[in-house]
Amino acid sequence: MHTWEQLCEDKRFKDLPYKIETNARGQIIMSPAWMYHGSNVNRIARLLESFLSSGEVIVECAVDTADGVKEADTAWLSDALWDKVKDQPTCSPAPEICVEVISKSNSLEEMMYKRQLYIGAGAKEYWLCDKEGNMRFFDGVKELESSILCPEFPKLLPPRR
């Protein structure tokens, strides 16, 4: 069993080409990702920065959940939350917006489980992006027509430049 801080300091896990998460038992879960995944994560982060002038956008944001530490592909934290967690190894409570890009190695069921975990940890919204850049937005109760915290965010990511 490892703590998140121990994993962050362990040189064996430095520069891996995929993200690491843990489950509630402290077991390490590794998720390889396809190229489109990283591209969509980057485009979401850039759009969040352009639409939300305050706060902090984080890529691969470690979040304490009821089932271990999960890494939101992209997250937005208000200035107040950022000030509270910026020197911590994980974010607790969860960022206000947690975004996942579904990969071939993920199931929709797994992504909806992460929604429950992030919302349970304090997230206000959970967003899900598919391979083609289609966005879905959720709060703690239901799927939303658009984001409440960032209503300008498109339902389809713009094409790559």
CA 115 vs CA 9, 66, 128: distances in Å: 28, 12, 9
Contact 125, 145 (CB under 8 A): no
Mean pLDDT for 124-153 is: 97
Q: How many CB atoms lie within 10 A of CB 16?
A: 10
Mean pLDDT for 41-62 is: 96
Residue with tokens 């713009």: 158
For residue 149, is it within any domain? no
For residue 156, is it within any domain? no
Taking only the tens place, the pLDDT of each residue in 64-89 is 999 999 999 999 999 999 999 999 99
Give the domain extent around 97: 35-144
For residue 22, is it within any domain? no
For residue 29, is it within any domain? no
Identity of the amino acid at 104: K
Buried-exposed string 60-85: b where 16+ CB fall within 10 A, e elsewhere: ebbbbbebbbbbbbbbbbbeebbeeb
Q: How many domains are there within the chain?
A: 1
Q: What is the CATH number of the domain that holds 109?
A: 3.90.1570.10
Q: What is the pTM of this model?
A: 0.85
For residue 4, is it within any domain? no
At 35, is the pLDDT very low, low, confident or very high (cuts 50, 70, 90)? confident
For residue 25, is it within any domain? no
For residue 111, is it within any domain? yes
